[in-house]
Amino acid sequence: MMKYKNTEFYKIIKDIYELDEVKRLDKCKHHGITRLDHCLRVSYYTYTITKALHLNYKDATRAALLHDFFTDEVSGLKMYGRFSKHPKIAYNNASKYFKLNKLQKDIIVKHMWPCTLTPPKYFESWIVDIIDDISAVFERGYVTRKELQFGASFLYLFILSRFR
């Protein structure tokens, strides 16, 4: 059951969310929750923030849902290898099922910057990178929901003041 009750958000991600291979992410542990829940959270925050900023929110929202599209491909790797290699693996997996444009490739492949040395190219990619980091901190239980909301609002206002 989809926990984010937003019709437009659901319409944007529907075909991805309903793919069996993506549903399998619900069986993978990730930051103490499931990888599917993590990807949905990053995707939903990406949707709200990039839409409010009049960016390419549809493409960004879809790419954000696919940013950690892998199952056990990194299981043999050490921590740094996992951090640096899973974005490429996620991109390869995602492109088997979906046609991805340059923006979406950049979002997925660079979401672990600075572990993935080349920095993001697009504003949308930076946003997903930051949302992913904030979500990871929240999911690991280092901050509470209130603090996360405060952090997200602060980020939103900061971005607005810098770029609008």
CA separation for the pair 124, 31 (Å, rounded):
23
CA separation for the pair 152, 81 (Å, rounded):
29
Residue whose CB is less far from Fe ion, 68 or 106: 68
Q: Which residues form the interface with Fe ion (CB under 5 A)? A: 68, 132
CB of 39 to Fe ion, least distance (A): 7
Residue whose CB is less far from Fe ion, 80 or 163: 80
CB of 111 to Fe ion, least distance (A): 6
CB of 73 to Fe ion, least distance (A): 12
Residue whose CB is less far from Fe ion, 106 or 132: 132
CA separation for the pair 52, 46 (Å, rounded):
10
Write out the DSSP string of 59-94: HHHHHHHHTT--SSTTTTS-HHHHHHHHHHHHHHHH
Residues 44-75: b if buried by 16+ CB within 10 A, e if exposed: bbbbbbbbebebbbebbbbbbbbbbbbeeebe
Residue whose CB is less far from Fe ion, 83 or 97: 83
CB of 164 to Fe ion, least distance (A): 27
